[in-house]
Structures are given as C-alpha cells and as structure tokens.
Structure 1
Amino acid sequence: MMSTRSYRLIWSRLLCHSHVKTKLRKKNSVLLAFSNVRYFRQPAAETHPHLISVGEVTPGLTVKEFYNRRCNLVRSALKAFQGVKSTEHHLFVFPSATTAYMSTDIPYVFRQNTDFLYLCGFQEPDSLLLIKAHSSSLQTGEHEAILFVLKKDPEKELWHGPVSGADGAAVLTGVDAAFNSNEVEKYLHYYIKNHKNYVLWYNHTQPVHADFNNRVVSQLMKDPRHKYLENTASLLHSLRVHKSTAELRLMQKSVDIAAEAFVDVMKFSKPMINESQLWAKMDFECRMRGAEFLAYPPVVAGGNRANTIHYITNNQVVLDGEMVLMDAGCELHGYASDLTRTWPVSGQFTKAQKQLYNATLRVQEECIKMCTKAYSLDEIYTKMLHLLGEELLLLGIISAHTPPPQQLNILRKICPHHVSHYLGMDVHDTSTISRGIKLQPNMVVTIEPGIYIPADDFSVAPEYRGIGIRIEDNILVSESEPVNLSASCPKQAEEIEDLLSSR
C-alpha cells in the first residue's frame, strides 16, 4: 500500500501543473482521507470535522467560492485594460499579515490581512499570494494562483505549533501551486525574465507586510518591464462590498452570536458594576458561542463617558441611575458583527433618559427603512440630521428660534459621527467605497444614530446633561425591504426594562 507521504508528494507535484487544477479541486477530499496527522495550522476537515466540511477552506466557504472570487478579481481588472493591446499579462500580489509582538517572544493574537484572506482563505502569517492572468481571460477570469508560505520546521513547530507547509497549503486552499516563502524572489525573477509590458497589481499605498514590501515587491515595482502599476485596494473593495450567499450566512451567524451575548450582558449588569466586567462578559459569551474573538476593542461607557464616541478605557464603575453604552461585536470565521445598545443598569430609564432614548430609536427606525436601492449612506445621514433636529426641537433641546445653519451646527455637535458604514470582513469594511453611491442588494451596512449631551453642556436643560445614547443594528440591503440582521437583540425601551426586571 502506498504511504501517506507518497500520496502527498504526488499531490504536490500535480499541483504545480495548472491544467489539472479543476480536477484537483474535486479531489481534495481524497487526500484528506489518507491523512491521519494534524497537518494544518488552521481548522481543516480532517482535524475539525465538527466545524468544517470536506471541500471547505474555512467553515462555510468552499474551495470553489475562493476560486470564483479570484476569477471575479481577474475579470474586473482586465475590464479596465480592455483594448490596451500592449498589456497582455497581469500579475497580482497579495501579502498576508505578519506576526506582531507585544514584547520579546510574546505575540499578539494573529489576524490575517483581509484582502489576502478573501482570495485564498489561508490563515498563516508571512505568506504571499500571486495571481497570474492573461488578457484572454477577460470573459472567464481564468488565472493561476500560487501561494508562498512558511517552510515546515520541526524545531519551530515544537514551540509554535504546526504549519501547513507548501504541499499542505496547496491542498487546503485549492490553489494551483505552493512553495516556501524563501523561493518567492527566485520565482518573480523567473516571471519578469519571461514577461514584459505586464501590469503589476499591488496595494503599494498601504503595504501590510514590511519585509515582503521592502525586500521583494519594491524591487518588482522598480522593474522597467512592467508597464503599469495599479492599486488593488478599490478593485478588491468593489468585490468585497457585495456579499455572496455563503458570506451572508456567516454574517448572520456572527450577528446572532453578538445579539445573544448582548442579552446576557444586559442581564449581568447592575449598579456599581465595572465596565471591565461587562467587557469580559461580552467576550466570554461571544467565545462560548463559537466566535474567535471580539471584532474590535468594545466601547463600554457608563454615564457621561458615553459622550466620548470611541471610549475604550472601560475601567470605571457604572453608578446607579446611569446608563451604559456598549458598542461591541464579534468575529466569526473572518466576518464581523457590530452592534450598539444603551440601557440603564438600574433596570429602569429615568424620564429624561427614556425621552432621549426613544427619540434616538425613532430616528434609527426611519433610517433603517431607507436602506434600499433608492438611497446612499450619505443621503441617509442627511435624513438622520433632519430627523434628529425634529426630535430635539420637540424636546426643547434646540430652540425653534435658532437659525437653520446654526441648528445644523448644533446637530453635528450632538451627533458628530456618520449614521453608517459598510460591514463585512472588516468592521469598517471596504473603506475605499464611497458612502455617496446608491446602496445595492447584498451590501451589509450599519445604522447607528446617536445623541450625545456632555455633562458640561450648560445650553441644555440639566436633566439631559451627561447622557450619551447610540443604537446600532446591522442591515442587509435586499431587492425589496431592508433586513435587520440584528433584530433579535432587544432595543425597545419596554423590552429592555422587561429583560432587566428578569435578572
């Protein structure tokens, strides 16, 4: 009987030939069946069958999904050069993240570079993805994908755990070939020797891996044989902003986890609790439900501290009679959620708190209705300011005698942030996509109006001072009505009071 090692060697050699890649994608499960060791650094079907299925690179996302993403990338890129006859070849360069250290030999939790992860699903540091394409692939998106990854080293793996190695990376991701990272310069030297007038695609304005950028890619950018240097950022973002069915399933799961965790955190809260305890509870509840970690450092702001928009110190006591504003979400298999809820730790809103809370909620619900193809995020923001103005006029916080330009300045001070951002693999996702474009189906956005009245704002009646409120939900734009992915997380004032009374 042929050994497992022999199967791997044959597989590795086959992967070097691009003409068999379609057949190899169908056969990934065959190799997995012959392997009986922990072979990858990230979850795989053979090591985590409870989490990931055969044929998936990451839970819920198949080899085919990643291949289609790369095809879409190639098609989009080649459209920009349609008719430019002197540029037949295109080379795309996507580095992974590297390991960052908090002190000597002590790493921070690793998080993969999003664009790299989107295109291949590989979760190891110090890797590089090359995608080669020809102008003839304009319609099909046909390409060759090559990964350069960390070399297997038993001594290092003793300390840091297994790495996939070149053959493992190729099998896991379904790329056409994989090599050790120290071979990338040799490979690129061979490429530029045999190609001229090619288009080099690389995010040179925001390099994510200093060593690859300085040692490898910067030399490539200086090469006179490439005719154009194009930034990949806006190209990738224009693809990532539209979510596939599989992505939407993962996003819904991420939001569900965060919503359920919020309920437990609300019930856990009480007067004199420390913000750090609420942070820890949120982290715990998200992880217990399967999330890898929180999607960002959460805002847990009691009382007047809620008027600091990105307050993340989270180390003060929340007093009886105060509200706590928590802005938190989790990351699940590469997809983020981002929710905000504000509630009274005593269990009951005061009259002034409830007035401002319900005003914020009414504004939010009207803005959510606008998450359709008819509007842009900037248009929803303009509407938010108008609606906030109406609410604050009714409460007397803004005087009806105040001239409109001055009213607008007051509103921008009371809510100094935008009403929305795109959401996906990153919390503030696809940052190069304008908030001025019309929304499109399968985009996911946040809707998060706020009212912030600092304790030292003596232009406002005393009962409203020191109150900060934000309510945030995650909204899927569809062909018809908006879908609130976080609808299960309580936000009506009465719902919250009922929930807190059950503690």
Structure 2
Amino acid sequence: MEMKALGQPTHATHPHIINKGEITSLTTRSEYKHRRFVLIDQIKSHAKKMHMASNNHLIVVPASSTQYMSGKIPYNFRQNTDFLYLTGCLEPDCCFVTTIINEEFSTTLFTRETDKNAEKWDGPRTNHRDAADFFGVNQSLPINVLNDFIRGFVKYVANLIVWYNFVNPIQMHVHSIMENFMSDFGTTLTCENPTIFIQQMRLIKSPSEVALMRKTCRIASDAFIETIKCSSPGIIESQLNAKFDFECKIRGAENMAYPPIIAGGKRACIIHYSNNNQVLSKDDVVLMDGGCEYHGYCSDITRTWPVGGAFSPEQKSIYKIVYEANCELIDMCKSFPSLDALYERMLITVGVKLQHLGLLSRYETIKSVMKVAQQLCPHHCCHFLGMDVHDTPMIKRSIKMRPGMIITVEPGIYINEENTLFPKNYRGIGVRIEDDVLITETGPVVLSDFCPKDIEQIEKLASEFSKLPSGYI
C-alpha cells in the first residue's frame, strides 16, 4: 500500500514533504490517534460531570466540500480544520465518526468511493480499503453508507447522545443526513455540539504544531522583508500583493492565510481595506497585513513602513507609540494575562502616549483617554492563532493565557481624514504592528521576530528600493 498514490501526499509519493510515520508534514499517525483519544476522554468526562443519562455517544465531524467559483472551476480546497485536526485527511466530502458504548469506542473514517472517471480529472482518491491503515482509525467505509451506519447504530444502542455541530454546517451531504436522522429519532436522543471540546484541544499547541507555526511565521517574515525592499514611489499596491504572494509560495507556503491588506496613505485607516489597487506615493506609509498557510497552519503579521524610505515627523511619532505598545503588550505576556487584559492595557498605553505627545491634552481621566483610543483602534489587539487565522473562536478572550497558546499582538492607531480631534498633518495616518507570539512557561516567544519592526530597521529596509523585474514598474 505504501507505494500506492492516495488522495494526498504520503512519504512514498512525497518524501520531500512527508517523513516516514507522518500523515501530514511533521504530524505523525500516533499524534492524530492521541488527539482522538483525548476528545473521547473529554466527552466521556463531560457526560459524567453533567450527569447525562447515557454512556453511549455518537460523534460526527464532517470534512469540507469543494467550493466552486463558477461551473466546474473550483476554489483552492481548504479542509475543515476540526476534521483535519482529528484525522489528517486532506480530501473533501469525507466524514469522521466515533461511536462509544460505555467504555468501548471505535473510530470510523468515511471516504469517497473510487471513481475512475473523476480521478482521471482530479487525481487519485484514498479508497476506504486503504484509509483505515493509513490514517490509523479502526475502520473505514464508503461515504455512501454513512446514513445506514448512523441509523443502524441508533437502533442497536439505546439512550444515545449525538455530538454534531448543527449550528454551522460544514458539508451539506452529511448535514442532510444528520437533520433527517434527528427528525426521525430526535425525540429519543440528546444532541450536543463537540466543537468546543475540539477547540479547547486546539488552543494548546503540541511540539509539532509549534514547529509548523515557526515555519509559517518565518516564511511570512522573509516574504515581508523582500516585499518592503521592493516598495518604492509609483508602485501599485497590487504589485506588492503579487510580490508577497510569490515570496511566500517560493518558500513552501501552499496558500495565503487570507487576502492581504496592502493599504497606502489614508487607505491604511480602512481596517479591512482589500482593493489593493492604488499607486503609492513617496510621502505615503503603507500598512501591509499578510500571512501564509504552511501545511495547515497560519501566520498573521502586519508591518507599516514609509514608501519613500523615511517617516515624516508626524508618521514617526504615531509609529513610535504603536511600536512601544506592541513591545509592552508582548512583555506583559510573561504574567499570563487574558487577551482582554492586553486590550485594556493597549487602550491605556495608546491614550496616555498620545497625551504625552500633546494630541489628547484636553482629556484628563484615564477613562476618557481610553475612550478616544478605542475610537482610534476599533479592533481587538489580540486573537488566537493556529490552523485558522482567527483560531478557536469559541474560546473566550477573557480566559488567562496558558503555555502552548499562540496569539497575535496587534495594536494600531488609525487617524482618518475626518478626525478633527487631531491637527491636519496627523490625519490620514494609519499604523498597525502585528506579531505572532507563542506563550511559554519562561516567557513569550515572538515567532515573527525575524520580521523587522523598529524604526531604524524599517527605514533602512524601506530605503533599499530593490526593483521588481524591468517593465513592471
């Protein structure tokens, strides 16, 4: 079986990507099995703690389906990250099911049927006869028997608790099966959502996940350096977009983590600006928010730099405040605060420093200064990061940090042109500095540290003006 081409890279077919014993890059079969054991244990413990009426469980986690731009033209496929975290399976339209009867459990992976005609167009699929051994599950079956499997199980097992996310459907085929199933049997069943348990597991990164996060952050950091170096007056934002995309992918990233934001001048005050189609002038600062995806793990970095190679005095003073806030918040991570506590500290720091600069001198109380700072930076300064850019969204930002978490730290100041609180020469300045930070027992580790951010480094890099190929500018 090792030499057979499956529906995703293997050590036999892609030894430059997958090492022996791994299902996906750097992640072994045994780690995926361990994750499934932990989920099962957590669900059993929760059921016991909540005095649920049954020890019998059915856990259903679907894969994503391919999405299409139009007709038969697909978008790049991206797997449901909860499904990927538990299985390592990169194929669409599959489903992972765990059955638990008292203390005994069994894991089943449902895969697509072999289809010679479809495989002629789209490449090989992992046949269910190969999937059990490769992915380390107890058994694998064709996806077309999923409905019969679930209905057969409920007839065999009484007092069943069904774990499935009905709120956010991932795959419509599986969702239809589950809706019909609950319509027929729902009055005799209890239904719960397993997503929170999976996200709690994903919140703390394993050593292999940390290694993947280091790599994706290093790729994006190097890509930022090359992109900053090629920016010069007259370049179009979209050209920087293309440069960043190229530099990430030439280093091994499969995809961008999200559409990059490349906003010059006053456009930097538009938080999610994504048109990326304006010409940059020598007096502009450009804010670029970009990241890449490396074997399922995302980076998310923001840097702001002067297109002409040097900040104006006003640009430099605002940049300095954001830079100092960024450093202060990262240092604060030593004491394991919550993300919400970091946000509160950012508002105080930004507000007080603007006061010291003489721009908010009329505001006398910390509360009033924080209110202005909140208007200048309407987004939170931190979020969890991992397989998704805004990772584990069900986890509250009010919880205290723990070793193994990875977060972003991204203070910003955006003074739009209509903001009459500030002198005219400060209006239209937008600055954000975002780093990716691993929380450890001994202190925060900045995974994006290879990407320069202090004023001297940024100005030096932005002054290099290494050109794109002739004819592109």
Q: 1:123 is matched with which residue?
A: 90
Match of 1:111 in 2: 78
Structure 2 residue matching 1:477: 3-state secondary structure: strand
The answer on whether the counterparts of 2:355 and 2:361 sit within 8 Å (CA) in structure 1 is yes
Residue 181 of structure 1 aligns with which residue? 143
Deviation at 1:192, TM superposition (A): 1.1
Cα distance in 2 between the residues matched to 1:226 and 1:56: 41
- Aligned partner (choices 260, 279, 301) of residue 241 of structure 2: 279
TM-score by length of 1: 0.89
DSSP 3-state at the match of 1:57: strand
2:64 matched residue in structure 1: 97
1:219 to 2:186 alignment: no
User: Are 2:94 and 1:133 equivalent residues in the alignment?
Assistant: no
- State, as a whole percentage, how many aligned pairs show the same letter: 42
Q: Conserved in 1, the CA contact under 8 Å of 2:352 and 2:369?
A: no
Question: Which of 54, 60, 66 is the equivalent residue of 1:87?
Answer: 54
Counterpart of 1:352 in structure 2 is: 314
The separation in 1 between residues aligned to 2:85 and 2:254, in whole angstroms, is: 17
Q: Superposition pairs for residues 238-387 of structure 1, below 5 Å? A: 238-387=200-349
Q: 1:446 aligns to what?
A: 408
- Tell me which moved more, 270-279 or 168-177: 168-177
Change (3 A) 1:129 1:417: same
Distance 1:42 1:53 in 2: 14
Letter in 2 for 1:431: P
Counterpart amino acid of 1:82?
K
| Residues 205/55 of structure 1: CA separation in 2 closer, same or farther (3 Å cut) | same
Q: Distance in 1 between matches of 2:130 and 2:414?
A: 52
How far the C-alpha of 1:175 sits from its partner, in A, is: 1.3
Indicate the residue corresponding to 2:469 in structure 1: none
Hey, what's the Cα distance between the residues in 2 that align with 1:161 and 1:85? 45
**Which residue of structure 2 lines up, in the alignment, with residue 420 of structure 1?**
382
**Counterpart for residue 236 of structure 1:** 198
RMSD over equivalenced CA pairs, Å: 1.5
Post-superposition CA distance 1:109-146 (Å, at most 9, x none)? 10000100010010111111101223426xxxxx3211
Moved more, 155-164 or 323-332: 155-164
Cα distance between partner residues in 2 of 1:224 and 1:384: 48
For residues 454-480 of structure 1, the C-alpha deviation after alignment (integer angstroms, 9 at most, x for no partner) is 122222112211110000000111112
Q: 1:226 to 1:480 in 2, by over 3 A?
A: farther
Say yes or no: does 1:46 pair with 2:8: no
Structure 2 counterpart SS, 1:436:
coil
Partner deviation per Cα, 1:172-194 (whole Å, 9 max, x = no partner):
31111111111111211221110
| 1:67 maps to which of 30, 33, 56 | 33
Matched-pair contact (CA < 8 Å) for 1:367–1:384: yes
Residue type at the aligned position of 2:226:
D
Q: CA deviation at 1:43?
A: 0.9
SS at structure 1 position matched to 2:189: strand
SS of the residue 1:317 aligns to = coil
Stretches of structure 2 that go unaligned for 5 or more consecutive residues are 466-473
The alpha-carbon distance between structure 1 residues 372 and 135, as it changes in their structure 2 partners (threshold 3 A), is: farther
Q: Give the superposition deviation at 1:375.
A: 0.8
Q: Is the 8 A contact 1:372 1:440 kept in 2?
A: no
Distance 2:388 2:89 in 1: 16
Aligned residues: 463
- Counterpart CA distance in 2 for 1:148 and 1:300 is 42
Per-residue CA deviation, residues 378-399 of structure 1 (Å, 9 max, x unaligned), is 0111111000011110122212
Distance in 1, Cα, partners of 2:169 & 2:377: 34
Q: Secondary structure at the match of 2:48?
A: coil
Letter in 2 for 1:439: M
1:253 is displaced (CA, Å) by 0.4
Instruction: Please tell me whether residue 158 in structure 1 is matched to residue 124 in structure 2.
Output: no
TM-score, normalised relative to structure 2: 0.95
Unaligned runs of 5+ in 1: 1-30, 138-142
What's the CA shift for 1:65? 0.6
* Residue type at the aligned position of 1:206: N
CA shift in 2, pair 1:470/1:237, >3 Å: same
Displacement of 1:225 after TM fit? Answer: 7.2
User: Which residue does 1:23 correspond to in 2?
Assistant: none
Moved more, 493-502 or 295-304: 493-502
- Cα distance change on mapping 1:151 and 1:361 into 2, 3 Å: same
CA contact under 8 A between 1:258 and 1:330: conserved in structure 2?
A: yes
Q: Is the 8 A contact 2:348 2:369 kept in 1?
A: no
